[in-house]
Structure 1
Amino acid sequence: MSVVGSFVAGDYVVFALMLVISAAVGVYYAWTDRGRGSAGDFLMGGRSLTAVPVSLSLMASFTSAITVLSNPAEVYRYGASFLLFGLSYIIVVLVTSEVFVPVFYRLAITSTYEYLELRFNRATRLLGTLLFIIQTVLYTGIVIYTPALALNQVTGMDLWGAVFSTGVVCTFYCTMGGLKAVVWTDVFQVGIMLAGFLSVIIRSVVLQGGVLPIISDSHHGGRLNIWDFDMNPLRRHTFWTITVGGTFIWVSVYGINQAQVQRYIACKSITHARMSLYLNLLGLWSILLCSVFAGLCLYSVYKNCDPWTAGLVSAPDQLMPYLVMDILRDYPGLPGLFVAAAYSGSLSTVSSSINALAAVTVEDLIKPHMQMSEKHLSWISKGLSFIYGALCIGMAGLSSLMGGALQAAISIFGIIGGPLLGLFTLGILCPFANSKGALSGLLVGLVVSLWVGIGAQIFLPSPEMRRPLALSTEGCNFTTTHSLNWTSTALPTEPSFITTVPPENIDGRPLLADNWYSLSYLYFSPIGTITAISVGLLVSLLSGGLKQKVESRLTLKKEDMISYCLFKFVKERVMRRTGKLDLTKDGEKKFGNNNPAFCDVELDLTKCSVPP
């Protein structure tokens, strides 16, 4: 594999500056909050955060280096259908704001899984906590190691130096500053990620002669395949797999994942919590648009000379770093800015995970069994942040030995979220769901989603369902044996398009391999969610769930929903104008036409979760 360029002093300075500023934020909040010794201040920021920083932190929490490196490579290989995630984000924010935020904020809980004990029993809470800890530690190790490997092989940046520097800095500011430090470093790192994307996009646009040539190249290369309404569930990415499957995956992240819930519960009011979600939507769209357009730029530059097919990169994740080192190598500091963007994604994800792991451990595993002062709990929270940070760095080292299991581990992270989403949905939306149904649904949903997810890793889908779009190497201009003129515009007389799916022997494949195991990976989460809800409802009904009484604060009430409050408000205004409702001076309602059908229109917005 050839190296297009390598880091210079300016690149290292930019990268180091990003780490120094991130660490400085932790020191700042450790100093300003030195007089506050409670675990609540450390883990929840004193529940005083406002909408804007929380919205950026929500966006950064699961915008990892995988987004910076893999999303453009996905668009380069499979097309821009990834853009449809923008539709699923709208549904996710609406569902989270209307269903999950009111219940969690009303309870003022620190750990999401505390809700499971209040609603069901302690066994359900402990199982949910255990699943969260396992998936998060595994995922964070991968998030640290995977981009370090890709960037090391392309830029020559020291692999373990990058792993340890980012891991240590992340652990440092989490341990020192708590949630406030995590949120404000997320704000800074979002800015770095956007700057990194824009540096590549602007240079590509200049190099290719404008935005329209890039769009034209993408169109002729079949990359603008956004509106694919094929209903086949075996297809990797279609309108349906992305909007339906993507919605389930992201609701499991925004609705119930501790790292996200912890942020909007830490807001000073439920209005700020909801506003942070809607502002976060704008940020998600920005990152998505940048990553998709960066993928189109990648294709436009290399449409006639695919680096992957030519064997000059060993993995798709290395395509973006190669583009950066190719087109920005004459601008010292800009390659460093892009690498800083990739690692900012890692830092924001890992710091969120460390803080969330410390929170659930304190709330779910320590406080129920040990009586301690707030000061001691605060020190324990800091100690746990340090331990989990070290564990994540160790997990990054283990990831280097896992090889092909990396993709399976990332898939399992998504698979576990589906059954957990089904469990929380049972509790919030189904008052007759009981603890027997909840545990049964969670376990069966987990087994089914793991079955299909692991089976899909063992028996890869048929080539027709995962075949990338056409790629060509006919325009490559090999000037020497060790270098390649990537931006060559030489056109072949007879283009030779090469697809990159290796031949596959399908003899001996079980019948399930071409159906059940070949489902789009985006459907793994819906399968787990629907299974958990279905089994949970059935077992609850058979075990006397209809006879139980559940506290109203633990389930969603119609007054909690902004949409319901707005509906009542509009309904009353309409009836006032039509004369069917009259408000006297003393507030007593009198109805015109003596119509009893309008006697349920009393509007009291003070009972709703929105300001009157």
Structure 2
Amino acid sequence: MDVLSPVGSFSAWDYVVFSVMLLVSAAIGLYYAYVGRHGSQSSGDFLTGGRSMTAVPVAMSLSASFMSAITVLATPAEVYRYGASYVCYGLAYVIVMATCSEIFLPVFYRLGITSTYQYLEMRFNRATRLFGTALFILQTVLYTGIVIYAPALALNQVTGFDLWGAVISTGVVCTFYCTLGGLKAVVWTDVFQVGIMVAGFLAVIIQSVLRQGGVAVILSDAKEGGRLDLLDFDLNPLRRHTFWTITFGGAFVWITVYGINQAQVQRYISCKSLAHAKMSLYVNLLGLWVILVCSVFAGLCLYSIYKHCDPWTTGQISSPDQLMPYLVLDILRGYPGLPGLFVAAAYSGTLSTVSSSINALATVTVEDLVKPYTDLSETQLSYLSKGLSFVYGAVCIGMAGLASLMGGLLQAAVSIFGVVGGPLLGLFTVGILCPFVNATGGLAGLLCGLVLSLWVGIGAQLYPPLPSMSRPLVLATHGCNGTLAILNHTIAAHTLGIFNHTIATHTTHSPVWLGNLSSADSRLPCLISRPLIADSWYSVSYLYFSLIGTLTAVSVAIITSLLSGNGKLNPSAGLTLCKEDLTLYCLLSLLKEKLSSSTGKLDLSGTPEGKTGRNNPAFCSMELSNTYTSFSRPPA
């Protein structure tokens, strides 16, 4: 389709589909609130589901938690503008799941902790725990503000529904079922919502394929437009997206999510055994691949339909993040209910992410900031957990206002995880893998990593990379009808050419677009002075922010610990990774046992299975000593 059509509006059936999604989500919260009322529900049951969850629902919840409206709206727009190299995340996810299941999961699960940051006090000291908790709360509130704002933007674009009315309603629904039902409600609503997300994508993809005449046509259009150049092995760290930035830089970003982020760790430690916890990560990998393929192909559908008439350049929409809602009402307006299904998909992604964040925020507040300093009963802590869920829901709604001031949703969200999550990942990594690192080294590494990653992250927001590094692909408008659209494109292209020429001829204080320059926005910007460091340090790919913070924290922690004279520090048993935790070691041990056994079978029937995860059936039948429940904090 080369001619732009005006944006349509919701029909009655669209509102019905959308409302059903909200009602089902709320009903799940009511159900678990009812079940909990007829049992003795402690704060632990409310926050961790009683550690009785099984692998499949937890896996689907893991997939849904951070595959939010940012995935539904921003990833297709990313592919539309920069190409399908984003699919390399499929390899990054493999690295993430293998790393988390082998290094982080065994340690956290066997400790039976509720908050991830309890580990920091066990391994280092209370000050490190409190600092890590504060960083997590800041990171999560900022990120949640973005994912609340994203679907509200979609609703505003496709229905004209009041933007801030949508923001408030999102927060209210999430807060409602989080406050009532706890983690079990969050997990089971995630299961429902991930199905809605995939259904919304499929509705758009199937109609696009039918409209364009087949998958082959869409792929051919994408190839001609340069959108299928998947493997760019350029090692330049300033390039926004290459094979290396996506695969390895992206892996570090997502290890901070699946390895140490409370919202995710809280899910797999809620499983009834380590085997279920480990399995949930790998089943979740399949879910991530499905969502990734759907979102990338949806971006190719976007390009195939608007390859000759870009709605953004011509001013039909005000932001690339509105491309998918525009497409939905353009191609699905003749099918009542389907536009509502897509917006329900975007909204489902947000509900799953925000509810996970609210539940995680309540958990770390109770476990890290309340329990160690009070003598409240379990009943009182349970009521406090529910009250905190309500409070954090309100806070996250307020933080959505900040998201409206940021640039592209995808880059903003990933940047937050990288800047704050990278140093935290470095701290947990040295704690688990380096027994000689002490509290002084760990805290010094965390602080240095945070300072460095904040420096590059804030600098990148103030001085975004030039188009020569981000390399947005060509967006055409020559197929549009209407003199105004062609005139707008001509003026924008001429103006952009002048400024690009000016940038190329200035080496010290070249002018730059004020805002997200990587988007090469066609609207006239203001100018600010651009320092030399902006084209080197500040232009590092946003996917490397986490890597920078992690490596800095690890390096400083190791050096400081060695210089402080505690190189022979020996943490309590269970706080560091041991060889029995590794799958390969246990498989070899099992094979050796089988070969040496006269019966050829290994008897595991005597292995206890406690809800706190003291057994390790996913790896071997290692007996854990009582020292796992009586930790002595090592000296600084």
| Distance in 2 (alpha carbons) for counterparts of 1:501 and 1:260 | 46
SS in 2 for 1:538: helix
Cα distance change, pair 129–541 in 1 and its aligned pair in 2 (3 A): same
How far does the alpha carbon of each residue in 1:518-576 deviate from its partner, in whole angstroms, 9 at most, with x for none? 11111110000000000000000111222322112100011011121113344667xx5
| Distance in 1 (alpha carbons) for counterparts of 2:295 and 2:585 | 36
Q: Aligned residue for 1:526?
A: 547
Assess if the C-alpha contact under 8 Å between 2:76 and 2:297 holds in 1.
yes
Q: CA deviation at 1:33?
A: 1.6
SS in 2 for 1:367: helix
Q: CA deviation at 1:158?
A: 2.7
Q: Does 1:205 align with 2:209?
A: yes
Q: Aligned residue for 2:565?
A: 544
TM-score (normalizing by structure 2): 0.86
Q: CA deviation at 1:275?
A: 0.4
SS in 2 for 1:255: helix
Q: Does 1:565 align with 2:586?
A: yes
- Counterpart of 1:24 (choices 7, 23, 27) is 27
| Distance in 2 (alpha carbons) for counterparts of 1:553 and 1:501 | 61
How far does the alpha carbon of each residue in 1:429-469 deviate from its partner, in whole angstroms, 9 at most, with x for none? 00000000000000000000111111111122122112311
Assess if the C-alpha contact under 8 Å between 1:559 and 1:607 holds in 2.
no
| Distance in 2 (alpha carbons) for counterparts of 1:233 and 1:403 | 23
Q: Does 1:503 align with 2:503?
A: no
Cα distance change, pair 501–53 in 1 and its aligned pair in 2 (3 A): farther
Cα distance change, pair 533–352 in 1 and its aligned pair in 2 (3 A): same
Assess if the C-alpha contact under 8 Å between 2:278 and 2:618 holds in 1.
no
Q: Which runs of 5+ in 2 are unaligned?
A: 487-491, 510-529, 602-614, 622-636
Sequence identity (%): 69
Q: CA deviation at 1:183?
A: 0.2
Q: Aligned residue for 1:187?
A: 191
CA RMSD of aligned residues (A): 2.4
Q: Aligned residue for 1:108?
A: 112
Cα distance change, pair 386–472 in 1 and its aligned pair in 2 (3 A): same
Q: CA deviation at 1:497?
A: 9.3
Assess if the C-alpha contact under 8 Å between 2:157 and 2:325 holds in 1.
no
Q: Aligned residue for 1:492?
A: none
Cα distance change, pair 389–520 in 1 and its aligned pair in 2 (3 A): same
SS in 1 for 2:373: coil
- Counterpart of 1:155 (choices 145, 159, 170) is 159
Worse-matched range after superposition: 143-152 or 327-336? 143-152
Report matched runs for 1:138-537 at 5 Å: 138-400=142-404, 402=405, 411-478=415-482, 503=499, 505=503, 507-508=508-509, 509-537=530-558
How far does the alpha carbon of each residue in 1:322-362 deviate from its partner, in whole angstroms, 9 at most, with x for none? 10010001111100100000011110000000000000000
How far does the alpha carbon of each residue in 1:12-70 deviate from its partner, in whole angstroms, 9 at most, with x for none? 11111111100000000011121223001100000000000000000111011011000
Q: Match of 1:78, as an amino acid?
A: Y
Cα distance change, pair 212–540 in 1 and its aligned pair in 2 (3 A): same
Assess if the C-alpha contact under 8 Å between 1:562 and 1:608 holds in 2.
no
- Counterpart of 2:16 (choices 13, 16, 25) is 13
Q: CA deviation at 1:510?
A: 2.7
Assess if the C-alpha contact under 8 Å between 1:471 and 1:499 holds in 2.
no
| Distance in 2 (alpha carbons) for counterparts of 1:409 and 1:259 | 16
Q: CA deviation at 1:475?
A: 1.1
Q: Aligned residue for 2:619?
A: 610
Q: CA deviation at 1:77?
A: 0.3
| Distance in 2 (alpha carbons) for counterparts of 1:610 and 1:547 | 28
Q: Aligned residue for 1:62?
A: 66
Assess if the C-alpha contact under 8 Å between 2:415 and 2:543 holds in 1.
no
| Distance in 2 (alpha carbons) for counterparts of 1:79 and 1:135 | 29
Cα distance change, pair 333–607 in 1 and its aligned pair in 2 (3 A): closer
SS in 1 for 2:232: coil
Q: Match of 1:278, as an amino acid?
A: Y
Assess if the C-alpha contact under 8 Å between 2:238 and 2:469 holds in 1.
yes
Q: Match of 1:298, as an amino acid?
A: L
TM-score (normalizing by structure 1): 0.90
Cα distance change, pair 501–436 in 1 and its aligned pair in 2 (3 A): farther
How far does the alpha carbon of each residue in 1:307-336 deviate from its partner, in whole angstroms, 9 at most, with x for none? 111111111001111100100011111001
Q: Match of 1:547, as an amino acid?
A: K
Q: Aligned residue for 1:490?
A: none
SS in 1 for 2:499: coil
Q: Match of 2:499, as an amino acid?
A: P
- Counterpart of 1:47 (choices 48, 51, 64) is 51
Q: Match of 2:549, as an amino acid?
A: G
Cα distance change, pair 550–299 in 1 and its aligned pair in 2 (3 A): same
| Distance in 2 (alpha carbons) for counterparts of 1:338 and 1:251 | 29
Assess if the C-alpha contact under 8 Å between 2:197 and 2:345 holds in 1.
yes
SS in 2 for 1:545: coil
How far does the alpha carbon of each residue in 1:274-294 deviate from its partner, in whole angstroms, 9 at most, with x for none? 000000000000000000000
| Distance in 2 (alpha carbons) for counterparts of 1:451 and 1:311 | 34
| Distance in 2 (alpha carbons) for counterparts of 1:276 and 1:72 | 27
| Distance in 2 (alpha carbons) for counterparts of 1:462 and 1:284 | 31
Q: CA deviation at 1:393?
A: 1.3
Q: Match of 1:348, as an amino acid?
A: S
How far does the alpha carbon of each residue in 1:210-249 deviate from its partner, in whole angstroms, 9 at most, with x for none? 1111111111111001111111111111111111101100
Cα distance change, pair 499–473 in 1 and its aligned pair in 2 (3 A): farther
| Distance in 2 (alpha carbons) for counterparts of 1:255 and 1:116 | 14
Q: Aligned residue for 1:554?
A: 575
Q: Which runs of 5+ in 1 are unaligned?
A: 485-495, 577-581, 588-605
- Aligned residue pairs: how many? 573
How far does the alpha carbon of each residue in 1:454-510 deviate from its partner, in whole angstroms, 9 at most, with x for none? 1111122122112311111111134x989x9xxxxxxxxxxx999989935455233
SS in 1 for 2:335: coil
Q: CA deviation at 1:149?
A: 2.0
| Distance in 2 (alpha carbons) for counterparts of 1:106 and 1:426 | 18
How far does the alpha carbon of each residue in 1:238-277 deviate from its partner, in whole angstroms, 9 at most, with x for none? 1111111011000010000000000000000000000000
SS in 1 for 2:372: coil
Q: Match of 1:562, as an amino acid?
A: T
| Distance in 2 (alpha carbons) for counterparts of 1:74 and 1:253 | 21
